Chains A and B, each alone.
Chain A
Amino acid sequence: MSLSAFLQFVFSGLTSGAVYAFVALAFSVTFSSSGIVNFAQGQFVMLGGMVAASLHAGFDVPVLPAMMIGVAAAGIAGLVMGAGFILPMLRLGEFTLILITLGLSIVFEAVALIVWGTDPLALSSLIDAEPLRLGGASLTIDSVIIIAMIFVTLIGYQLFARFTRWGRAMRATSIDPSVAASLGVNVSLTIVLAFVLSAVFGGLAGVLLTPLISTGAQTGLLMTLKGFTAAVLGGMGSPIGSVAGGFLLGMIEAMTTGFISSTYQNAIALTLLILFLMVRPEGLFTKRSRQA
Chain B
Amino acid sequence: MTHDAGPIWLKLAAVAAIAALPLVFGGNALLLHLAIMVGIYYTVCIGLSLIFGIGGQLSLAQAAFYGIGAYTSALLATKLNVPVFLGFVAAALVSGIVAWILAAPILRLRTVYLAMATLAFGEILVTLIRENRQLTGGSTGIVNLPRPAIGSFVFETPSQYYYLVWIVALAAAWIAGNIIRSRFGLGLRALADAEIGAASCGVDVARYKTWMFTLGAIFAGVAGALFVHYLSFISPDSFSVSFSILIVMILAVGGRDSLVGALFGAIAVTVLPILLAGYEKYSELVFGVLFLATVMFLPRGLAGAGEALLARMKGGRRVTHEGRDA
Answer yes or no: A and B touching, Cβ < 8 Å.
yes
Determine if B309 is an interface residue (Cβ-Cβ < 8 Å): no
Name A113's contact: one of B105, B131, B281, B295 (CB within 8 Å): B281
A-contacting 9-mer, from B118-126, B182-190, B214-222: B118-126
Main secondary structure of the interface of B (DSSP, over half): helix
Q: Do A106 and B116 have beta carbons less than 8 Å apart?
A: no
Q: How far is the CA of A225 from the CA of B115 in the complex (A)?
A: 12
Name A263's contact: one of B131, B284, B287, B296 (CB within 8 Å): B131
Determine if A213 is an interface residue (Cβ-Cβ < 8 Å): no
Q: How far is the CA of A102 from the CA of B123 in the complex (A)?
A: 19
| Contacts between the two chains (Cβ within 8 Å), count | 97
Q: Do A99 and B112 have beta carbons less than 8 Å apart?
A: no
Q: Mark B296-307, 1 if CB is under 8 A from A, else 0.
A: 100100000000
Most chain B beta carbons < 10 A, residue from A102, A236, A271? A102
Determine if B289 is an interface residue (Cβ-Cβ < 8 Å): yes
Q: Assess A96 versus B295: contact at CB under 8 Å? Given A264-B127, A274-B117.
A: yes
Q: Do B124 and A100 have beta carbons less than 8 Å apart?
A: no
Determine if B312 is an interface residue (Cβ-Cβ < 8 Å): no
**Minimal beta-carbon separation of B89 from chain A (angstroms):** 29
Across the interface, which residues of B come within 8 angstroms of A107, CB to CB?
285, 288-289, 292
Across the interface, which residues of A come within 8 angstroms of B94, CB to CB?
none
Q: Do B108 and A281 have beta carbons less than 8 Å apart?
A: yes
**Minimal beta-carbon separation of A15 from chain B (angstroms):** 22
Determine if A175 is an interface residue (Cβ-Cβ < 8 Å): no
Q: Do B117 and A277 have beta carbons less than 8 Å apart?
A: yes
Instruction: Name the interface residues of B254-302: CB closer than 8 Å to any CB of A.
Output: 256, 281-282, 284-285, 287-289, 291-292, 295-296, 299
Determine if B140 is an interface residue (Cβ-Cβ < 8 Å): no
Name A266's contact: one of B109, B113, B123, B248 (CB within 8 Å): B123
Determine if A142 is an interface residue (Cβ-Cβ < 8 Å): no
Determine if A92 is an interface residue (Cβ-Cβ < 8 Å): yes
**B56 and chain A: residue at smallest CB distance:** A95
Determine if A119 is an interface residue (Cβ-Cβ < 8 Å): no
Determine if B178 is an interface residue (Cβ-Cβ < 8 Å): no
Q: Mark A223-238, 1 if CB is under 8 A from B, else 0.
A: 0010011001000100
**A103 and chain B: residue at smallest CB distance:** B292
Across the interface, which residues of B come within 8 angstroms of A273, CB to CB?
116-117, 120
Q: Assess A106 versus B252: contact at CB under 8 Å? Given A89-B296, A232-B116.
A: no
Across the interface, which residues of B come within 8 angstroms of A228, CB to CB?
116
Name B109's contact: one of A99, A103, A113, A281 (CB within 8 Å): A281
**Minimal beta-carbon separation of B241 from chain A (angstroms):** 8
Q: Do A106 and B108 have beta carbons less than 8 Å apart?
A: no
**Minimal beta-carbon separation of A217 from chain B (angstroms):** 11
Across the interface, which residues of A come within 8 angstroms of B123, CB to CB?
266-267, 270
**B130 and chain A: residue at smallest CB distance:** A263
Q: Do B112 and A106 have beta carbons less than 8 Å apart?
A: no
Q: Mark B90-133, 1 if CB is under 8 A from A, else 0.
A: 00000000000000011011111101110011011001101100
28 contacts between A and B (CB under 8 A): A31-B112, A37-B112, A92-B299, A95-B252, A96-B296, A96-B299, A99-B295, A100-B295, A102-B249, A103-B295, A104-B292, A106-B292, A107-B292, A110-B282, A110-B284, A110-B288, A113-B281, A114-B285, A232-B113, A236-B113, A264-B127, A266-B124, A267-B127, A267-B128, A270-B120, A274-B106, A277-B109, A281-B113
The 4 A-B pairs of least Cβ separation, nearest first, read A103-B292, A106-B288, A110-B285, A270-B120
Which residues does A use to contact B, with CB under 8 Å? 31, 37, 85, 89, 92, 94-96, 99-100, 102-104, 106-107, 109-111, 113-114, 225, 228-229, 232, 236, 263-264, 266-267, 270-271, 273-274, 277-278, 281-283
